[in-house]
Structure 1
Amino acid sequence: MDMQQAGQRAEEILDGTMEAIQPPVKWVRGVAMESACSTGLNEPTGTTTVMRGRNILTVVSAHRRGELLAMVQRYLESQGFGDFDIDHDEKMPELRATAADGLTVILGVGSIGNVNVDAGFGCVRDSEMTYPKGTPFRPGGPKKVERIPHEHSPYWSATGAPQ
């Protein structure tokens, strides 16, 4: 797999993940990251790690975070992901899953309640790569990355215990 294919596969699974969250949340593209792989002696290998992401702008209350993780886990399972590692930390839960092709997805809740979903491959073949419109710091994308949730949802932002 090359960098372009890896980026496209990551974008597809991230789009599907966002569509699987119901009721829908508001989100924006996260920063696309690439990092050259090396032999450990700073010698290039002709491969690069490729990561893409989504920042959820809807406030997800602490009472709804477990439900969000479970919903994303069900979607990823339906897409063939396995090897789940779930941290049920009350304040900053995290889910990590890997597909047979090596794609890893991480959903994490930050210290201020910000929710990010990242997907990527480690060390794919170097190639040219394009980015979807709206990718931060890429042509046509924003110069600033939105990360702080500020949209309110009657469902996801509810502070009472889920029913």
Structure 2
Amino acid sequence: MTVDQLDAAERCETLLQETLDAVRPAPVWQDAVPRAGARLPSPGREAGVLWYVTRGRDLLTIVSAARRAALVDVVERHWRRCGWTITSLNAGRELPGVAAITRDGYRLALRYGELGEARLTASSPGVAHSDRLSTPWGGERSPTAPVPHVCCPHWSAMF
């Protein structure tokens, strides 16, 4: 069976939900703008156009600067338990983040922005094109993550 963009989108959604389920207490989030498209193959490595999808979650919970590395650590540990390869880790920096790749080639990342906004993303490897792929909602959303505004006794704590 060939994986197409719709199957890949469903896999991305599952990866995101499993990651968020590993975070306790659970942060408040919203769907990020879904992306889908094509990219040219790498010379000498792949043949033909490769299609991809990216899905994401914008965290609406305020994660204080003091707790950002802890959230990155929770996500990193979950991904390692799943057997995925950590490809990038910036746990102690001003803008912490972590990225990983699954055994089946999906790439995940948790990144912080300048204003404390955080986005969790999952991107597919190259897959077959799908005419079945649809956007889960109508309307436009900003391609940047929103500024978090939901307080949490744990994640928003200053120490």
TM range (shorter): 0.7 to 0.9
- Equivalent pair of 2:5/2:53 in contact (CA under 8 Å): yes
1:106 is aligned to 109
1:33 partnered with 2:32 = no
Q: What letter matches 1:48 in structure 2? A: W
Higher strand share: 1
Question: Which whole-Å CA distance do the structure 2 matches of 1:83 and 1:152 have between them?
Answer: 29
State the identity as a percent: 29
Match of 2:20 among 18, 21, 29: 18
Change (3 A) 1:45 1:68: same
Change (3 A) 1:90 1:125: same
Following superposition, the deviation at residue 60 of structure 1 comes to: 0.3
Please tell me the root mean square deviation across aligned C-alpha atoms, in Å.
2.1
Question: Which whole-Å CA distance do the structure 1 matches of 2:120 and 2:154 have between them?
Answer: 20
1:53 is aligned to 56
Change (3 A) 1:80 1:142: farther
Change (3 A) 1:125 1:92: same
How many pairs were matched up? 152
2:95 is aligned to 92
Q: After TM superposition, where is structure 1 displaced by more than 2 Å over at least 4 residues in a row? A: 44-47, 128-131, 138-146
2:148 is aligned to 149
Question: Which whole-Å CA distance do the structure 1 matches of 2:156 and 2:14 have between them?
Answer: 26
